[in-house]
Amino acid sequence: MKDISLQRHPAASARASSDTEKTTEERIRKKTLTGNLNAAGFRFGIVVSRFNEFITERLLRSAYDGLLRSGAGEKDIQIVRVPGSFEIPSAARTLAETKKYDAVICLGCLLRGDTAHYDVIVNEVTRGIGQSAQETGVPHAFGVLTCDTLEQAIDRAGLKMGNKGFEAALAAVEMANLKKAITRKKARSSQQSAALTNKAVSSQPSAISQSMAKKASSRQPSAFSKSTRENRSARSKKRKSKS
């Protein structure tokens, strides 16, 4: 006896798989929040280190240009200079705590030397910038170069590896937009929850209202009680008239 089974044509299977992938991608797209690269209407703070100025000035110029190209106004950009990269987190936090800026861009350059000083500073700067962003709620873009040689830093300040200052500026713009999108979504969710709560409360009388209604009804005499009192009053008047 032959076992005859129906098998899907390879082309049909491929189409089904493609349709499933498209459906999944569409669901993911609807559930995804992203920030765009439109800087119009946002304010940005830039903290830049003077140490290794040959590199940091290139980062600054490129970051500034990136913000302008994204639509930011010159009046919406504040530049703060600090002595070295170690001071960047403190200045960035001070800017963020004013709540006047939608994002802070941190620019600096650290080059490895002969001692452990480099590793200590790198760790502290990275930790400080991240902590400032988390505790203030203001996005911080990390544009601090941590390189072994000057050549590596030059490559990342406008040559072979692009310009990390420009990249940090774009990251700041995107994160400012993303934060705005998340805040709006949260506000809409809160409004919808409040509307549903109000609707539920208005459609069902509260326990207090029910209790007050019962007390009010207990205070009001019933028709039977009123009739009984009237009959008693009439009989009392008859007795008095006979006497």
Catalytic residue ranges: 117
CA-to-CA distance for 94 and 229, rounded, in angstroms?
81
CA-to-CA distance for 229 and 193, rounded, in angstroms?
54
Longest dimension (CA), the chain: 129
Q: What 3-state DSSP class applies to 107?
A: strand
Q: DSSP state, 222?
A: P
Phi first, then psi, for residue 217 (nearest 5°) are -70, -30
Matching residue, tokens 């990251």:
171
- Please answer whether residues 141 and 92 qualify as being in contact, where contact means their C-beta atoms are separated by less than 8 angstroms: no
- Please answer whether residues 200 and 62 qualify as being in contact, where contact means their C-beta atoms are separated by less than 8 angstroms: no
Can you name the residues that pair with 44 across neighbouring β-strands?
77, 103
Q: What 3-state DSSP class applies to 1?
A: coil
- Please answer whether residues 122 and 83 qualify as being in contact, where contact means their C-beta atoms are separated by less than 8 angstroms: no
